[in-house]
Every structure is written in structure tokens, then in C-alpha cells.
């Protein structure tokens, strides 16, 4: 009797393993298949334009933060650079999931305002701060326009739209902090 019980248990275990393996294979087949949604080319174009703008502005923010001697201003501009870097990573991930090649978008050139030249003279610090704030105001306009252009796309997926809104709110908040700093100084 004991042998019969062991054989039944082994047979049941073997059949459970086979069923589990078949289910896992079926599940894996469905998970590996690429998404059938293909974003329209003009949506990908707007997103890649925004990506390139973020990359360019991030580099400018880093250079401005390096050139400014005022500690608070340096910190505020550094926050903009960090947020831009985070948004670049998120946007690259979204572009890849939508079927775009993020490496080809890196080569696209966007003309934008040059960043201010680094000033080392402490007496001219006030002038550098003014030009830095003007640069940041101009950058804010460009960023908001680029985000709004993406958000105005009617065929933008809801998840991407939500991400763009969150990023736009973050950028606007960072610029608001910078403006508040400039009025306090």
C-alpha cells in the first residue's frame, strides 16, 4: 500500500511539473512578444526633439553651475542639471519602448542659445548672476514650449502623456525655485 501511494505521488508530481512547464512556456511566449503598438513617426519626432533639447540644456546647466561662484545659485542650477539628466533617462526608456532607436536621435542637432562664458572675477559675480538668470529664463521658455508641443499631440499614449506632465511640472518647479532665489538676492 505504501508503494502505491508513493507511485501516485510521483506521478502526480510529474504531471504537475509538466503542466507548470507548459504554462511557463506559454507565459514566456506572450511576454517576449514585442508590443504591437507603434507610435506615429511625428510623435517620435517630437519626443526625440525634446530628448535632444534636454541633453543640450543639461550640458549648459552643468557648465553654468561650474562657472558661477554664488553657492545658492550654483545649487539651484545644479538641481536643473540633475533633473534634466533624470528626464533624459526616462525619455530614452520611453522611446525605446515605443520602438524608436534612441542612438539615432542623439545625432540630431538643435540650435539654441549659447551658455554664458565662465567668469572668474569675483567683482563681476553680479553680472554673471544676471546673465545666468537670463539664460535660465530663456531655457525655461524653450523647455516649456517643447513639453507643450509633445503634450498637444492627440495620439500620445496616456502613460507617456502622464510622464511628460510630471516632467514638465518638475522642470517648472525647479525654475520657480531659481526665480524665487533671484528675487531674494
**Structure confidence by residue, pLDDT tens digits, 105-157:** 444 443 333 434 434 444 344 444 558 888 888 999 999 999 999 999 998 88
In this model, does residue 24 exceed pLDDT 80?
no
What lies within 8 Å, CB to CB, of 160 at 6+ separation is: 47, 94, 98
CA-based angle 70:76:80, to the nearest 5?
Answer: 135
User: Which of 1.20.1260.10, 3.40.190.10, 1.20.1250.20, 3.40.50.150 would CATH assign to domain 38-184?
Assistant: 1.20.1260.10
Terminal-to-terminal C-alpha distance of the chain: 90
Length of the chain: 185
The pTM of the full predicted model, rounded to 2 decimals, is: 0.67
CB count in 10 Å sphere of residue 137 = 13
Amino acid at each position: 500500500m505504501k508503494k502505491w501511494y508513493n507511485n501516485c505521488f510521483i506521478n502526480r508530481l510529474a504531471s504537475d511539473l509538466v503542466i507548470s512547464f507548459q504554462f511557463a512556456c506559454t507565459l514566456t511566449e506572450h511576454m517576449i512578444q514585442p508590443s504591437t503598438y507603434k507610435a506615429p513617426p511625428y510623435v517620435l519626432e517630437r519626443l526625440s526633439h525634446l530628448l535632444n533639447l534636454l541633453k543640450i540644456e543639461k550640458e549648459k546647466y552643468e557648465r553654468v553651475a561650474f562657472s558661477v561662484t554664488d553657492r545658492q545659485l550654483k545649487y539651484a542650477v545644479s538641481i536643473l542639471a540633475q533633473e534634466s539628466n533624470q528626464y533624459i533617462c526616462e525619455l530614452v526608456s520611453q522611446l525605446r519602448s515605443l520602438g524608436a532607436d534612441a542612438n539615432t536621435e542623439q545625432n540630431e542637432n538643435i540650435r539654441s542659445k549659447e551658455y554664458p562664458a565662465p567668469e572668474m572675477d569675483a567683482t563681476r559675480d553680479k553680472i554673471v548672476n544676471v546673465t545666468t538668470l537670463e539664460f535660465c529664463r530663456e531655457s525655461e521658455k524653450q523647455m516649456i514650449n517643447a513639453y507643450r508641443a509633445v503634450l498637444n499631440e492627440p495620439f500620445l499614449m496616456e502613460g507617456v502623456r502622464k510622464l511628460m506632465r510630471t516632467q514638465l511640472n518638475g522642470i517648472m518647479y525647479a525654475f520657480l525655485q531659481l526665480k524665487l532665489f533671484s528675487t531674494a538676492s
